[in-house]
């Protein structure tokens, strides 16, 4: 036994003692292959998964390095069965390969004949293959490159892709750092992506993922397609690129519901690309026809199914995904790995906070009790109606108004999901409201007013969850959400994490994140699930009773 900071358990969990003097070194050493599950105050929990270990192999780490890290930092003897499993799991990666072929374009091959026969006879794979060239090689149509990688991952034989990338059409792009500098972790993230060729960068909301994207573009120096969640986000990306790079407005096109511009750098919304007409996706086909050198996926964890399909066809292009969390409620993280690439960089939220790059946050759950009449209506309602009834109680409007009054002059967002409730809140608080039906022009006007302090209070629906830059927001009051979505909870807290001005004592004033929850209802159950992600990132919720405010 040594005095290491890590406890390696036979269920493949790794427990890291945060206060240990070797904790930072251990965290950096296990980050390439272990997935961070929970990071509360004293013990952080990581897990070894096949996907994480294959991620590591794709990034250039081998089983010997992983085993050495575990043995070096573990406080107790590492279970032998776990070490064997690590080696055998990682050995599955790369037994199947994809290579370029001068005649057939692309071939699937393997030096392990038994594995090769098993794979090519699989019903999920056989239809994607062409002519059998010899015992160890079979032709693959280049258009099936992504689909094949997806299918092989699901079979447990992830392919190592040596087919490489086309450079795409060259276009000059440089960072313009005359009055700003990339933060060290932003530079590391961009370099990690570039050296790996394609992959995903995971950074907290507010940590400057857009600048990582800009740095990746400066590395590629090629025509770039940027995919974003909405038109407001597209215009924010354009503004940032004009400000932070040598690109001009004329070189950047917007491809959205409002405009259809294709330029050397084109920013397109997922929504317009997934529009379907007569069984086809006309906009996908149009953008697929251009010789892009780089594809940037903002909020990559939200990729809709049609974009997965398009990405399967874009395997010859370099791809970078940007996200605050790779959590997908549908469990399709494996698709992100097989089609975008492995996780190339990940930084725990609390690490970035401790360096002063994002604001600390105080998370508070305020519990309300339904009045007797509403409790009876809730108890007798159909199950699918109960969440709406619990979420939309008028008690929440009263508590939200009280919380707003507790933070006079502080830029505040009141966030919810149900439109009737948002309208009621907006009227009660005498505040403007932004919903799905709000025009892009009006959204931009209200967001701009909020950024400049002219509008101190905004009521917003889930349209503000993603990719909306509101750096001044200091208080968020959440009244309802998308059931148990951990993604949404992370994104909503993220609205508040831009660095704040420091107080007289030199520390940043914490942001305030309130969630108003109806006790003894499914609202409370869903709240617990949503909060799990933040608890795993080290954010502890305080619980208050509305009567005690």
Compute the average pLDDT of residues 435-441: 88
With a CB cutoff of 8 Å and minimum separation 6, the contacts of 215 are: 175, 182, 186, 187, 189, 190
The CA distance from 343 to 86, in Å, is 18
Other C-beta atoms closer than 10 Å to the C-beta of 130 total 15
Contact 205, 494 (CB under 8 A): yes
SS3 string, 379-441, reads HHCCHHHHHHHHHCCHHHHHHHHHHHHHCCCCCEEEECCCHHHHHHHHHHHCCCEECCCCCHH
Q: Which of 3, 8, 14 is nearest to 80 (CA)?
A: 8
Q: pLDDT tens-digit profile of 28-41?
A: 899 889 987 777 77
| Residue extents of the structural domains in the chain | 6-92, 97-161, 184-352, 359-548
Compute the average pLDDT of residues 4-28: 93
Q: Which of 34-43, 125-134, 459-468 has the highest mean pLDDT?
A: 125-134
Q: pLDDT tens-digit profile of 305-322?
A: 778 777 777 888 899 999
The mean predicted confidence, pLDDT, of the chain is 88
Tell me the torsion sign for CA atoms 100, 102, 107, 111.
negative
Q: pLDDT tens-digit profile of 41-74?
A: 788 889 999 988 998 898 889 999 999 999 999 9
pLDDT for residue 289? 78
Q: For 359-548, give the CATH class.
A: alpha beta
Whether 262 has a pLDDT exceeding 80, the answer reads yes
Pick the CATH number of 184-352 from 1.10.3730.10, 3.40.50.300, 3.40.50.800, 3.40.50.2300: 3.40.50.300
Task: Look at the pTM and tell me if it is higher than 0.95.
Answer: no
Whether 155 has a pLDDT exceeding 70, the answer reads yes
* 483: confidence class by pLDDT, cuts 50, 70, 90: low
pLDDT for residue 82? 96
Question: What is residue 206's three-state secondary structure?
Answer: coil
Share of the chain above pLDDT 70, in %: 95
Q: pLDDT tens-digit profile of 249-258?
A: 999 999 998 8
Beta pairing, strands 294-298 & 252-255:
unpaired
Whether 142 has a pLDDT exceeding 90, the answer reads no
């Amino acid at each position: 036994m040594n005095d290491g900071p890590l406890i390696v358990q036979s269920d493949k969990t790794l427990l890291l003692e945060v206060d240990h003097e070797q904790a930072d070194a251990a965290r950096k050493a296990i980050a390439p292959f272990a997935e961070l599950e929970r990071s509360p105050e004293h013990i952080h929990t990581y897990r070894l998964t096949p996907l994480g270990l294959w991620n590591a192999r794709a990034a250039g780490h081998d089983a010997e390095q992983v085993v050495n890290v575990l043995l070096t930092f573990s406080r107790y003897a590492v279970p032998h069965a776990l070490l064997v499993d690590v080696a055998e799991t990682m050995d599955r990666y790369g037994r199947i390969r994809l290579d370029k072929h001068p005649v057939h374009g692309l071939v699937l091959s393997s030096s392990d004949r038994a594995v090769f026969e098993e794979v090519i006879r699989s019903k999920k794979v056989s239809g994607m293959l062409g002519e059998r060239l010899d015992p160890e090689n079979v032709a693959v149509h280049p258009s099936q490159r992504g689909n094949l990688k997806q299918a092989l991952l699901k079979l447990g034989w992830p392919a190592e892709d040596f087919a490489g990338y086309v450079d795409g059409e060259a276009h000059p792009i440089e960072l313009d750092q005359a009055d700003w500098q990339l933060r060290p972790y932003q530079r590391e993230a961009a370099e990690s992506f570039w050296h790996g060729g394609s992959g995903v960068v995971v950074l907290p909301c507010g940590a400057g993922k857009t600048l990582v994207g800009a740095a990746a573009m400066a590395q590629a120096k090629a025509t770039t397609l940027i995919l974003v969640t909405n038109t407001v986000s597209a215009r924010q990306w354009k503004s940032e690129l004009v400000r932070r790079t040598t690109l001009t407005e004329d070189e950047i096109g917007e491809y959205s519901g409002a405009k259809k511009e294709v330029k050397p750098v084109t920013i397109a919304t997922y929504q317009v690309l997934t529009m379907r007409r007569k069984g086809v996706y006309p906009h996908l086909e149009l953008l697929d026809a251009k010789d892009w050198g780089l594809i940037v996926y903002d909020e990559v964890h939200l990729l809709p199914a049609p974009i997965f399909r398009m990405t399967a066809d874009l395997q010859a292009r370099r791809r970078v995904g940007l996200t605050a969390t790779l959590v997908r409620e549908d469990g399709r993280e494996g698709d992100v790995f097989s089609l975008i690439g492995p996780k190339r960089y990940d930084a725990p939220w609390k690490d970035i906070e401790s360096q002063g790059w994002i604001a600390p946050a105080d998370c508070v759950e305020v519990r309300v009790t339904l009045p007797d009449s509403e409790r009876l209506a809730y108890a007798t309602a159909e199950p699918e109606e109960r969440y709406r009834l619990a979420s939309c109680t008028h008690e929440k409007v009263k508590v939200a108004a009280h919380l707003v009054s507790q933070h006079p002059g502080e830029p505040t967002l009141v966030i919810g999901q149900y439109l009737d409730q948002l309208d009621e809140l907006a009227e009660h608080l005498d505040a403007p409201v932004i919903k799905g039906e709000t025009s892009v022009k009006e959204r931009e006007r209200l967001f701009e007013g909020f950024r400049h302090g002219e509008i101190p209070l905004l009521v917003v629906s889930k349209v503000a969850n993603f990719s909306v830059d509101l750096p001044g927001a200091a208080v968020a009051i959440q009244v309802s959400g998308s059931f148990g979505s951990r993604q949404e909870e992370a994104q909503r807290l993220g609205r508040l994490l831009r660095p704040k001005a420091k107080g007289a004592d030199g520390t940043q004033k914490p942001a305030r994140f309130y969630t108003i929850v109806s006790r003894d209802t499914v609202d409370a159950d869903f709240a617990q699930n949503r909060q799990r992600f933040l608890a795993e990132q080290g954010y502890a919720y305080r619980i208050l009773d509305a009567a005690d405010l």
